[in-house]
Amino acid sequence: MDIKKVTFIIASSLVLCFMASAQSKLISINEKGKLSYHSYTDKGDLLPDFSFCGYKGGGVAIPHIKVTASISPSPNKEDDTPFIQAVIDKVAKLQPDEDGFRGCILLRKGVYHIASPIRITASGIVLRGEGNNKESGTVLIATSPRKYNVIEVGFNGKAKYNTNDVQEIIDKYVPSGTRILHVKNADKHFRTGDDVIVRRPSTAAWIQTIGMDSIAPRPRKGETTWEAFERFRREGKDTDMNGTIQWKPGSKDLTFERKIVSVKKDEITLNIPLTNALQKEFGGGTIYKYRYDKRFTQCGVENLYGMCIYDESVKKSYRGIGEYCCDENHANTFVALRTVENAWVRNVSVEHFDCCVTTTSATKYITGQDLSAINPISQITGGRRYAYHINGGQMCLFQRCYSSHHRHEFVLGATTPGPNAFVDGYGEMTFASSEPHHRWSAGCLWDNIVLKGPSASLMAANRGSMGSGHGWAGAQMVFWNCAAPLILVMQPPTAQNFAIGLQATEVDNSKEARSGAKSTFNSIVNTSMIDMKYKDQPINGTGWTEQTAGTVVPSSLYYYQLRDRLGKSALKKVMDEPQYNKYFNR
């Protein structure tokens, strides 16, 4: 038979298979087997393309860098930090090669004692161990009785720009998920290839519209949230807010880093979609060129096992697990990514840490993959146990990551611009939600994330007076083919959140998990003061929900978006074989 006919028959069969399965109203499989996008508003808002998340913008294999220097642990259990740092500083003086790499520093197998942060102090440096196995690999033990990061990549930094370069976006409405905007005489101010920031302002009008200038005080002892809110309405600013802070204009701006791919008269096309609409009535937006004086690139941390020395006598009790160790005078974060782009953390396993990997607002194009974070040693309460934390940053990808006994496994910090993505993750014995945690982050995907445990949930909600006034935690948050006892999505004014598809067979339906789900739901109803009725099913809320009892196609939004954008060859560069077979060979 003619090869073209065979190919056509196979492709047609795949399309028919997709069409017979459940599809979302927002993203479907067309007759060519590609994704078609459909607006969820009458203004053209779309689910964004998340496939730009990850090292080098997604679809690029993490390179294996040649070893430049090797280190062995001290035979006398002395502090290894100074010697490791000296080698890093020596490699930092080397000239980078044509790909921007100075070299890889190999920590040979054994146990290293780390009393202070190891700092990667230049671009192009990879810190590699000989395995993330506690018994036979490279083990870093944090030894100091204080909180610190074991490994830091880059320094703290902020984007700089000339105020004269700031141009107003003239569109009345730029839909979320789109890449085109307009500036008067754009071709006189910008060129193809310019690195720009698109700033969405947090104006007083917008804050008032979403109700974040009137968050209820945290209730006093014996007081309900409604009673606290009524007291606030009566007494105004003179009342005891009990820690709640109202949102202030300018404090929740979103800054999207993008590159211009074309300029035609007034029209600018960006390389990556925006993940929040720009609305003229709420200040619209501005665009300007920017730079970082010192932003590292081409850095990696890989093949390591991390653990801490802690005081085993410090203990508390917690419902469901009884007594547990909770000393907090030890290192709390294993890898902190600061002002850095095009970097990675892979094949790293940790125990005892609150956080395996965290980012900052100056982090972008990051991949964290094949990571494990277990047995954190800290109190089970607020501000602790964030396994994988995108705390600012954009185009960050965490894939194939595992955690246990954490609170917020896959979590965003405040005002984190998107897109970002957590893909193929698993968490168990979970004590809280994976979520945008507070104060309007925009555009994140949880794709095939499975959570189990006494308080496990995925959530994009109004957290009201929780914390110090978390309020509407996020917008354009997408939970795609996930599983948890509770997946709660609420629709914020001016935006939307989504729960599409459910891995029903993976849902923890134990009595304890179901009770925890209802308790979490009720706590959000209470603190947000938004009336919702609990449904005895995982997917709940006022947001956009579809296929609440089974999965949708495509089976993975991230990988199918990547395939459509860069082709199947890109998939093989970032997926392992079991993943590829799971999503594309069944």
Per residue in 309-358, pLDDT (tens digit) is: 999 999 999 988 899 999 999 999 999 999 999 999 999 999 999 999 99
Residue pointed to by tokens 């709420």:
282
CATH number given to 163-212+247-289: 2.40.30
Give the burial class of 109: count Cβ atoms within 10 A of its Cβ; 0-12 exposed, 13-18 middle, 19 or more buried.
middle
| pLDDT grade for 16, boundaries at 50, 70 and 90 | very low
Pair 408, 433: CB distance under 8 Å: yes
Query: Alpha carbon 32 to chain centroid distance?
Result: 31
DSSP 126: E
SS (H, E, C) 320-347: CCEEEECCCCCCCEEEEECCEEEEEEEE
Count of residues in the chain: 586
**Greater pLDDT, 307 or 7:** 307
For residues 112-118, give the mean pLDDT: 98
| pLDDT grade for 585, boundaries at 50, 70 and 90 | confident
CB contact set of 251 (below 8 Å; sequence gap of 6+):
202
For residues 203-218, give the mean pLDDT: 96
User: Rounded to whole angstroms, how far apart are CA atoms 112 and 75?
Assistant: 9
User: Rounded to whole angstroms, how far apart are CA atoms 37 and 41?
Assistant: 12
User: Rounded to whole angstroms, how far apart are CA atoms 453 and 457?
Assistant: 9
Give the burial class of 63: count Cβ atoms within 10 A of its Cβ; 0-12 exposed, 13-18 middle, 19 or more buried.
middle
Instruction: Give me 166's structure tokens.
Output: 């700031």
Domain extents for the chain? 3-39, 163-212+247-289
Q: What three-state secondary structure class fits 304?
A: strand
Checking if the pLDDT of 14 tops 60, the result is: no
pLDDT at 8: 35
Checking if the pLDDT of 518 tops 90, the result is: yes
pTM of the model: 0.95
What strands, in cross-sheet order, belong to the sheet with 486-489? 433-434, 457-460, 486-489, 539-540
Pair 300, 65: CB distance under 8 Å: yes
